[in-house]
Structure 1
Amino acid sequence: MSFARPSASVSSMQVGLHALGIGDGARPEIVRAVAEAAEAHGFARLWSGEHVVLVDAPASRYPYSADGRIAVPVDADWLDPFLTLSFAAAVTTTIGLATGVLLLPEHNPVVVAKQAATLDVLSGGRLTLGIGVGWSAEEFAALGVPFAHRGRRTAEYVAAMRTLWANDVASFDGEFVRFDAIRVNPKPARGRRIPVVVGGNSDAALRRVATLGDGWYGFNLPAAAVAERVTALAAECARQGRSPAEPTVAVALSDGSPDLLSDLAEIGVTELVVVEAPPATPEAATRWVADLADRWITPGR
């Protein structure tokens, strides 16, 4: 039995930009320049990721590189994604905004529900909440959060947040979070719901997408691995009684070129996310975004 997703055309595939919040991309003038230029040149979404803590010599293995090390220097500026995207929202009007990803089990879900809804309202309903379970035991330890069972914690936190978004007076009684008859406002701008996209490339991550996600964000994937992971996601959706076409599929490639856009669309990818670091001046950043759009968006159009 085939579990392949329905194919889409190249022209219908969106292109996102994951460039804000780190290094030069953490400077306000660069955030402004990149956000304004990305909207002007047709990028679908601005993505911004998270680490609260980095350590000089981690024992934990980074899962998105062959050598197990994160490429970001440990002393680089790394902005909070909600605050970064709020800044970007204030200088744009239409481009989507996505955390890519927020390490949800490291946070209080009641606070995250309020922060996410606030940004969604202020941006006019443009937020996608990308979440992940995290990989750094050192980061969890610094924050005083247990590293064990973070997958279960994440699933429960999503359920709790959706309860808070949907109900005027909300109650929840779970393993990790409990509240009774509370009000958390504002509510999200679009039908009291914010799309939740689950990040990660593992089988466990795809199971989380199928059970609780509105979409998947595959990060730093080799182009040759995308089809197998999309097929695996479709199979997980089938096991959960969901249509394989229901979750959105966003991928950031570790290799590849615009020549692959048609192949990605054919296997059901709905958004190609370009992950790049912007240059150091606003003028250069504006030209850089235009060049990226010429390379990645114009061929699809």
Structure 2
Amino acid sequence: MIRLGLHGLGIGAGAQRTVIDAVAASAERSGFETLWFGDQVVMADEDGPHHPYRDDGEIPASAQTDWLDPLIALSFAAAATNRIELATGVLVLPERNPVVTAKQAASLDRMTGGRLTLGVGIGISPQEYDALGVPFASRGARLAEYVGAMRTLWRDDDASFAGRYVAFDGVRANPKPQGRSIPVVLGGNSDSALRRVAEWGDGWYGFDLADVEEAAFRASKLRSMCREFGRDPTELKLSVALHDPVPADAVRLADAGIDELVLVAGPPADPIAAEAWIADLAGQWMRVRT
């Protein structure tokens, strides 16, 4: 049975506290498995980034849209729920201090009883990197190194790490996350992104894929790459979001070895209407996922 996730909070109408509370609690009651929150620190009015996975190159949100920090927004969703899993989809990690981010993620994971999945990626906006004073060109290498440093902080009581972009010696970072680890899934649909997943990721979040065929093709390529690195591809969690999914896609994705279909949709601004919106989504999707 394929899992169903929801990616629609933290932005626009979904950036309101009352809507987050209503949607998170209703999604949990309705059987959704995961709430995914996206990330965008800043946006530019003009000359913005070209979206790499859309034919028109357009970013599906304007620069004027409210966009909450995902780790802060997830803490409010966590407080409104008890069981549903929580995920960043995805945090642009190379823009952030990895030591601070490791602390924030571990804190959230402990406070939620181990419900956090940290989705990370390299981002697409040179303007955003410029605003944060981080070189855009090195973002792939930074991502890998930052994750390595964070895993060290989560795992070791007396933690040391020596890298090109981050280094520390004999530090203690507490609290530790549940089980001294947090699953790290990677976003991105390119071959280089899939190679990162195969080499050191715990899973893949394929966002904005065109259709089931593209998802199946990318998943198959990822499994081949896993074998190149001597990894068992069945140990990875594969989650995908499609452009315009229909309920019949759930069964086809499960047949292709996809673990979770993430529905990307914005809730209405009224919390009562948002609860009804979740009930409608559940009515459409829960009965066809087997």
Deviation per CA, 1:91-115, whole angstroms, max 9, x where unpaired? 1000000000000000000001000
Amino acid at match of 1:196: V
Correspondent of 1:28 among 17, 23, 45: 17
Please report how far the alpha carbon of residue 65 of structure 1 lies from its aligned counterpart in structure 2 after TM superposition: 1.6
Please report how far the alpha carbon of residue 292 of structure 1 lies from its aligned counterpart in structure 2 after TM superposition: 0.7
- Provide the residue aligned with 1:205 in structure 2: 193
Counterpart-to-counterpart distance in 1, 2:55 and 2:46: 17
TM-score by length of 2: 0.98
Amino acid at match of 1:156: E
User: Contact conserved, 2:83 with 2:115, CA < 8 A, in 1?
Assistant: yes
- Provide the residue aligned with 1:174 in structure 2: 163
- Provide the residue aligned with 2:232 in structure 1: 243
Query: Map of 1:2-41 to 2, 5 A cutoff?
Result: 12-41=1-30
Deviation per CA, 1:38-60, whole angstroms, max 9, x where unpaired? 00000000000100010011353
Amino acid at match of 1:51: Q
Counterpart-to-counterpart distance in 1, 2:130 and 2:144: 20
Please report how far the alpha carbon of residue 159 of structure 1 lies from its aligned counterpart in structure 2 after TM superposition: 0.4
Amino acid at match of 1:13: I
Deviation per CA, 1:194-250, whole angstroms, max 9, x where unpaired? 000000110011001011110000001011311110111011101110112121100
Query: Is 2:102 the counterpart of 1:113?
Result: yes
Please report how far the alpha carbon of residue 262 of structure 1 lies from its aligned counterpart in structure 2 after TM superposition: 1.3
SS in 1 for 2:157: coil
How many pairs are equivalent?
289
Amino acid at match of 2:210: P
Q: Provide structure 2 residue ranges, at least 5 long, that are not aligned to the other structure.
A: none
Counterpart-to-counterpart distance in 2, 1:118 and 1:58: 37
Correspondent of 1:233 among 222, 247, 253: 222
SS in 1 for 2:136: coil
Amino acid at match of 2:200: L
TM-score by length of 1: 0.94
Counterpart-to-counterpart distance in 1, 2:63 and 2:53: 16
- Provide the residue aligned with 2:71 in structure 1: 82
Bigger mean CA offset, 241-250 vs 269-278: 241-250
Please report how far the alpha carbon of residue 64 of structure 1 lies from its aligned counterpart in structure 2 after TM superposition: 2.8
- Provide the residue aligned with 1:126 in structure 2: 115
**Backbone CA RMSD of aligned residues:** 0.9
Correspondent of 2:52 among 59, 63, 66: 63
Query: Is 2:261 the counterpart of 1:272?
Result: yes
Amino acid at match of 1:77: D
Query: Is 2:35 the counterpart of 1:46?
Result: yes
Counterpart-to-counterpart distance in 1, 2:231 and 2:49: 34
Query: Is 2:285 the counterpart of 1:290?
Result: no
Amino acid at match of 1:92: T
- Provide the residue aligned with 1:3 in structure 2: none
Displaced runs of 4+ in structure 1, greater than 3 A?
none
Query: Map of 1:255-266 to 2, 5 A cutoff?
Result: 255-266=244-255
Bigger mean CA offset, 76-85 vs 239-248: 239-248
Correspondent of 2:209 among 217, 221, 241: 221
Amino acid at match of 2:206: G
Counterpart-to-counterpart distance in 2, 1:172 and 1:300: 44
Greater relative CO, 1 or 2 (CA 8 Å, sep 6+): 1
Counterpart-to-counterpart distance in 1, 2:262 and 2:250: 11
Counterpart-to-counterpart distance in 1, 2:287 and 2:269: 25
Q: Provide structure 1 residue ranges, at least 5 long, that are not aligned to the other structure.
A: 1-11
- % same residue: 56
User: Contact conserved, 2:251 with 2:288, CA < 8 A, in 1?
Assistant: no
